[in-house]
Structures are given as structure tokens and as C-alpha cells.
Amino acid sequence: MPLYKTITVSPTTQVYIWKITEDLGTLSRNIALTNHCQNRVDGMKSLLHQRGFMSVRHLLAEAGYTDHDLYYDAWGKPHLHDGKQISITHSFTFSAIIVSDSPVGIDIEMQRDKIIRIAHKFTPFEEYRTLANADAVVRKLTIVWGGKESMYKSYAQEGLSFLKHMYIEDFHFEDAQTTGSVSFNGSSKVYQLHFLEFEGFTCVYAT
């Protein structure tokens, strides 16, 4: 069953996660897209991306919406016509959305060794170097990246830098949460970050 998990973060905030097991034809069945979104799908060269895009439309249905309830602003940030806040993510065989009354962000990432090579581009924090093994390093860095990506999606301002403008408090894996902050253009905002790991993937959402 592709609906993998639902999480009630609060009475006004829900997370929905989909495991993408279906082919594109199955995912497209009974889904009516806006012209804009149909053009986006048709223009995707990757079948993986097409399947991820369509799986999100099923998650919208789980949350009580259709593609016609969704629109994107000039920066590509998704919004809902009823005023609720939404964030969307997909990575390989998983997709997710978070819907809330307040600003939110969500990210799913596959845990991959290559994140060690690019860590210096998005975090100055050194604690990961003291971890016992490479697997723990990859896991921790993926959470940090996912946390910053989630905050970036929520804050959504041009020029925002993962390295210069975002900070994430250190954490233990068993905590399953931490805090993050954005300081940009003279203002700051603090986020609560929650994370979970499953089947070699990491999901982080910011509220």
C-alpha cells in the first residue's frame, strides 16, 4: 500500500508520506491536473520525477485536496487556495507533504555517502567528524541538510544561504528533534525540527 505513514504533528498540522511503488500509468489514473502541472509533468525527462510528482497528487487527495487547490508563486513555492500552508518533497521512491495553519517545510533525502564530500558547503559544524563510523556521519549530515532544506522551503527568500544564514542545534539520533534558526537581512526565525529515518531515507519537517 503506497500511503506509507501519516503523522499528526498537532491538531492543525499533518504529515503524509507515500512510498512510490506504482508505475506512472497507475499513478495518473483518476488524477486531474491543471494545465500548468500537466505541462510540468510532460516536460520532465525523468520517469522517476514524473512518478514522484504524481504521487504527491495522491498525497493531496489524502489531505482532502486536488491539484486544482494548489498553486505556485514566482519563486516556485507551493500554496493552497484555502490559505493553509503546504510544503512538498520527493526523493527516489518516497514523497511527502506537510499541511498546516502555520508556515512549514519538509524534505526527504536518501542517505548517501556523497553528502560527506559536500558537507562543507552547507554546514560549519564539526561534531560529525567525531562520530564512530561513516554510517553515523551520513545519517547526521542528512538530517542537518534536510533540516536546512525544510527551513529554506518555509522561509523562501532569495539569497538565503544554507551555510551563512542557517544554524541547527546539535542533537542525538534518539531525540528525533532539534531546533534550527534562520538569520537573514536583519531578522531571525526559530523552527522546531522533527526527523525520522526509514528504509535508508531521512525525512525532516520544520514548524
79's torsion region: left (phi>0), alpha (psi -120 to 50) or beta? beta
Same domain, 122 and 31: no
pTM for this structure? 0.94
Does the structure show a pLDDT above 70 at 121?
yes
Burial degree of 147 (CB within 10 A; 0-12, 13-18, 19+):
buried
Q: Which of 102, 133, 159 lies at the terminal end of a domain, its last residue?
A: 102
Same domain, 122 and 84: no
Residue range of the domain that includes 145: 107-206
Share the mean pLDDT of the chain: 93
* CATH of residue 119: 3.90.470
Same domain, 67 and 126: no
How far is Cα 148 from Cα 204, in angstroms, rounded to an integer?
A: 9
Residue 150: how many other CB atoms lie within 10 Å: 28
Position 182 scores a pLDDT of: 95
Position 1 scores a pLDDT of: 54
Same domain, 166 and 182: yes
Does the structure show a pLDDT above 80 at 126?
no
For residues 36 and 68, which has the higher predicted lDDT (pLDDT)? 68
For residues 126 and 178, which has the higher predicted lDDT (pLDDT)? 178
Same domain, 92 and 120: no
Number of domains in the chain: 2
- Of residues 48, 70, 58, 60, the one with CA closest to residue 14: 60
Same domain, 149 and 184: yes
Position 186 scores a pLDDT of: 87
